[in-house]
Amino acid sequence: MTELLAIDALSAGYGKATVLHNVNLSVEQGTALALLGRNGVGKTTALNTIVGLTRHQSGSIKLNGLPIERMPPERRVEAGVGWVPQERGIFRSLTVEENITAVARPGKWTLKAVYDLFPRLRERRSNLGNQLSGGEQQMLSIARALVLNPRILLLDEPTEGLAPIIVEELLAAIRRIVRNEGLAAIIVEQHAQQILAITDRAVILDRGTVAYSGDSASLAGDRATLGRFLGVGAA
């Protein structure tokens, strides 16, 4: 497979604070990476740095061979970075359909394609964003990122606070996006086992550095590593 995203010796943070220290990771086209770690270790900062919302200090970020670490966020979107933030970022006063069409760019991910992925959104296409459940808002946030037709999708805690049945729907959709549609993805998630089940590789951050990098299946069975870096509950 082709290496799509390559991060090399990256350090970044906010203001004078350095949060990420000499981070290396890569994602191949059509694969998913689980980005794991305890709260406050730099997972969201890593996604924010790829998006362009932190202060870049050193190192490189290449997307399909193109250096993007000094690009403004809007240029990174044009280059192919799709982002689903924790806050979801939907327009609550617009309908579902308006939320999607307002940001859509030409490509395979059309309004019909995201409705096929999330039939609930088609059913609620005339509902305002603030009339949706938390799970439906998360589906809408993912749909909005997809219609930008990115090369890689960054998802920050996509299942946080959602009912188990909705979590299953979202995980199945993410699996389809990667396995069937060929997108790459980085998924930040607190619940290690459920995200390891749908990803190819995993990276664990600890104090802003890479503490573990390997395939997801091996990590899923490594209770000692999961316990050490994520806590007993994660294992």
How much is the pLDDT for 235? Answer: 39
Which CATH architecture group holds 3-80+150-234? 3-Layer(aba) Sandwich (3.40)
Number of residues written out for the chain: 235
Residue ranges covered by each domain of the chain? 3-80+150-234, 87-142
Q: How far apart are CA 189 and CA 195, in angstroms?
A: 7
Is residue 81 within 8 A of residue 50, CB to CB? The reply is yes
**pLDDT 10s digits, 114-136:** 999 999 999 999 999 999 999 99
Q: How far apart are CA 130 and CA 141, in angstroms?
A: 13
Sign of CA dihedral 131, 136, 138, 143: negative
As a whole number, mean pLDDT of residues 98-110 equals 96
Amino acid letter, residue 75: R
Spatial CA neighbour of 118 closest among 101, 151, 96? 96
Is residue 73 within 8 A of residue 51, CB to CB? The reply is yes
Residue 200 has pLDDT above 50, yes or no: yes
Helix (H) or strand (E) holding 36: strand 32-36
How much is the pLDDT for 1? Answer: 66
**pLDDT 10s digits, 137-147:** 999 999 999 99
The pTM for the full model equals 0.94
| Cβ count within 10 A of residue 160 | 14
Is residue 60 within 8 A of residue 10, CB to CB? The reply is yes
Q: For tokens 């005339």, what's the residue?
A: 126
Spatial CA neighbour of 175 closest among 195, 159, 192, 189? 195
- Measure CA of the first residue to CA of the last residue in the chain; give whole Å: 30
Residue 190 has pLDDT above 90, yes or no: no
∠ CA 107-43-164, rounded to 5°: 75
How much is the pLDDT for 234? Answer: 45
**pLDDT 10s digits, 40-96:** 999 999 999 999 999 999 999 999 999 999 999 999 999 999 999 998 889 999 999
Six token digits for residue 97: 């359909």
